Structure 1
């Protein structure tokens, strides 16, 4: 394998990208995009790309854009290099915030950045600190270096397959960049007559994109021979996506550098907790919604029985991301409405399965709470000399879809839709999507004429599908390179444990997401007319792509924290060489 020195270039590109503030969501991300394209074109390489430029994100309020660079190979198979270039904010750096984008200056303040109980792997001088150095501007820098090398040598060493680099904004917010990339990839495949997936050998050649592909430099006989060779492969082979997002140690002293063949998913179940209003001087006449919410959070948050498992891996437990009652001012009325949403990671569970598990936990918590309040009232009455029968309290657990169906049964579809549309239009277009969902659920609850205690369970965005590992040519090439470098302590695992844009590049056709769409108040089909504040995913296009996805990224630590850093020797030197060797293995197998 040809060995190259990547370190200086990748470090320089990383520092140039980190120096540009690109907090998501904002127009700042466009400045980073322009710098990425400038680096790709640097030193007169612009004319050597088959195509390169920007792809505007559809209906984006900030006018953001993806960056793409395409190098056509001798065949239609295509490898995609992917990375995101946005970051989270820098306020967590405190007094050091003015240096958050200046890694060289931050190097003098490592002791101030690191928590006292943290020990760095290796030499301190091997770590580069700063916002975005790990998550994931260094990963984008690796892709830039790879792409530049491939383009610069494309005439002398043409690849038998094509390479497409994509750099996207908004991964840290709602993944608008990669969702646009899904549309771009489907369109680009049709326009350029590419194959992100090789056909099954049994596919009819007459309908195969390969059979229809024309090669200006090849004779018809050569083209026919090429088609025959590809279609006679003994198994299903696929290229796919190499994402270079950061990975980190899984435990103290962990020596491994990880390669992931899929990714974890995420659902955001939300809970509107309805109590019952009353004066605080008569609390037994009502029910504090905060008490109900607290009981649910106690049973749901950090509950390891709700961890999802698959292929020997286990997600972290769910946690609350937001919780509040809905009182807007001080008074002496019990809070009778509260809500929270729960971050739930998935490896195998779908929206319906999770909804049923949450319903069971919520039902148990609600019944336990109401029984406890009944017993408390009995003791209080006994202690104060009061008598009388106490009617046992009852409550309900209902999903948004069930609440909608019941309200439609009572009022009719037209009236319910009209009321929800009016509420939608009254809300600011830029309102947070979780807040918009809440307002719609509240309005539906008021229309239903039901009374609390109750819990309405619904889904809020975003949704990240979990993606299992795909077998194929890219997976085999990665395995070959991993096994060739025992000195790097590389380890393969199936599910990338952090949320990633690669969730949207594949969707299992067997995945039933009706429980998601029916229970998400702001869901709109991707084909419908855009509506301010709506949430949609290009589900049909994701299923069309079905891309094998892998994350083999830089080695970092402290993402989204003030001690965010990347290990330079591996990330700037070893990693690009390893990925380049994967490309070389692919080239050998596709000749």
Structure 2
């Protein structure tokens, strides 16, 4: 059969067509995008003969993910899942170039014409002529284009096993697409008699530090949680600040102690998670008045590799306890100094520390479960267009207001999303294939691939199995107010869908920036051959690895 996605020019055109659909997360184009993918794959003779193998599936929120299975021999079970996402971040950062953000060839021409005005590293890449600019070129519609090319080859019998393309929405926000897909993959395993050997992603290689020019192959993906601390002080007039306790003052102590704190960096082999950083820091005072803002919140991004949720909660609680003591000491020292300036008798303050689960249980025991549930439902019923982080904060805040007799207090909680860390570094099949691919890439293409255990950019591979039993996640789920109330992760399905992972993708630069770009020579000349070899090795490598059926 004559291939339509096999040459560099053909795959570049396919990528440009995919990019031209502005599938920003949450947009109408994101909803429409799967239709184009299905239409393109439907043109292949295999799917005309096997229409039941190609579907767009609803995620439950108006969006869709696509699956395309190529199974040439009924008796063949071994299957590799090719996973990608088709949503992209917005293009506000493009400024004057915004109109052309989804027109890669035109944007690249314009950048070349204005080369002197570009950043130095962009000028360097523009000089080679191998780079294609535009939103989604790197992250990650190139990966989808490559997978469509591999599916086309599989339709012609190019591989000894089955390939299952899976492309999903919403990776950039909450991974709704991937979480909806895992139960479906379990169903298809039974329906089509499949045995999943590997989930192969083609997210682009991410730099580990500024100026990093290494090429990577990943056998895992970093995880993350979002711990938050609601600070409830004591209200007072701004003219009598020492008669109360400012919530912003409390949050500032926690933020200072948490921000970039390397005690929360986790090391695995030679890799270290980035330190935590603040995502939200704000007063919960809704309007201006001369009352101090006695309630505030601070929320952090915390990456993880192998730490358990119990270890994380213990660490967060320890930090909150230290902050409470620091707040007490700082308040006392300032009150003592002020007492020397005016006739004022300092009073002691104590700051209590609770988890959300502890606060919830106290509220139920003190005020009754019915009243607590009514408060929670009132918050959930008024969430129109609210971000999940804001809804979470409101749930904790209303509960703290109900139990204000416990104040001053710090309440530890977690907000969505939750990305489990995943890693196949101890899997013999993945270890063997990674070693083989490092050697092959060097010998055949002059590419020095470096093994990295964890892809650092957050990916949908997080929802391929669980490193720890679902039961160990209780410290997270009981302290996440939105768990099963608008946000959840299919933990039971993830425990069943325990499949090794691998990520081999293109070289790009500046993901989520207006200078996002793709090395087309690597992506569409070297990488297709490397992916073919990788897939064949995954199918033929003889190791004692069990696969899910």
- 1:195 equivalent to 2:151? Answer no
Whole-Å separation in 2 of the counterparts to 1:586 and 1:365: 50
Secondary structure at the counterpart of residue 453 of structure 2? strand
User: How far did 1:109 drift?
Assistant: 1.9
What residue is the counterpart of 1:454 in the other structure?
A: 409
What residue is the counterpart of 2:369 in the other structure?
A: 413
Structure 2 CA distance for partners of 1:478 and 1:117, relative to 1, 3 Å: closer
Secondary structure at the counterpart of residue 80 of structure 1? strand
Whole-Å separation in 2 of the counterparts to 1:466 and 1:484: 28
Q: Deviations over 1:218-242 (max 9, x none)?
A: xxxxxxxxxxxxxxxxxxxxx2111
Whole-Å separation in 1 of the counterparts to 2:361 and 2:210: 51
Secondary structure at the counterpart of residue 242 of structure 1? strand
Q: Equivalent of 1:518, from 467, 478, 498?
A: 478
CA contact (8 A) 1:260 1:493 kept: yes
User: How far did 1:31 drift?
Assistant: 2.5
User: How far did 1:432 drift?
Assistant: 1.7
Structure 1: gaps spanning 5 or more residues: 197-238, 525-530
Structure 2 CA distance for partners of 1:423 and 1:248, relative to 1, 3 Å: closer
CA contact (8 A) 1:289 1:337 kept: yes
What residue is the counterpart of 1:109 in the other structure?
A: 111
Secondary structure at the counterpart of residue 205 of structure 2? coil
The equivalences for 1:1-12 within 5 A come to 6-12=7-13
User: How far did 1:412 drift?
Assistant: 3.2
What residue is the counterpart of 2:86 in the other structure?
A: 85
User: How far did 1:85 drift?
Assistant: 0.5
The equivalences for 1:547-558 within 5 A come to 547-558=499-510
Structure 2: gaps spanning 5 or more residues: 543-549
Whole-Å separation in 1 of the counterparts to 2:363 and 2:70: 55
CA contact (8 A) 2:379 2:391 kept: no
CA contact (8 A) 1:269 1:458 kept: yes
What residue is the counterpart of 1:71 in the other structure?
A: 70
The equivalences for 1:28-107 within 5 A come to 28-42=29-43, 44=45, 46-47=47-48, 51-60=52-61, 63-74=62-73, 75-107=76-108
Q: Deviations over 1:2-27 (max 9, x none)?
A: xx964222211111111110000122
* Range with greater deviation from structure 2 (416-425 or 139-148): 416-425
User: How far did 1:87 drift?
Assistant: 0.3
Q: Equivalent of 2:355, from 399, 403, 408?
A: 399
- When the two chains are superposed, the root-mean-square deviation of aligned CA atoms in Å is 2.2
Whole-Å separation in 1 of the counterparts to 2:79 and 2:315: 41
CA contact (8 A) 1:265 1:467 kept: yes
The equivalences for 1:238-249 within 5 A come to 239-249=197-207
User: How far did 1:387 drift?
Assistant: 4.9
CA contact (8 A) 2:91 2:98 kept: yes
User: How far did 1:174 drift?
Assistant: 0.8
User: How far did 1:330 drift?
Assistant: 1.6
- 1:130 equivalent to 2:134? Answer yes
The TM-score normalised by the length of structure 1 is: 0.85
Whole-Å separation in 2 of the counterparts to 1:557 and 1:149: 28
Secondary structure at the counterpart of residue 496 of structure 1? coil
What residue is the counterpart of 1:267 in the other structure?
A: 225
User: How far did 1:587 drift?
Assistant: 4.6
- 1:463 equivalent to 2:418? Answer yes
Whole-Å separation in 2 of the counterparts to 1:422 and 1:194: 45
The TM-score normalised by the length of structure 2 is: 0.91
* Range with greater deviation from structure 2 (263-272 or 451-460): 451-460
What residue is the counterpart of 2:167 in the other structure?
A: 167
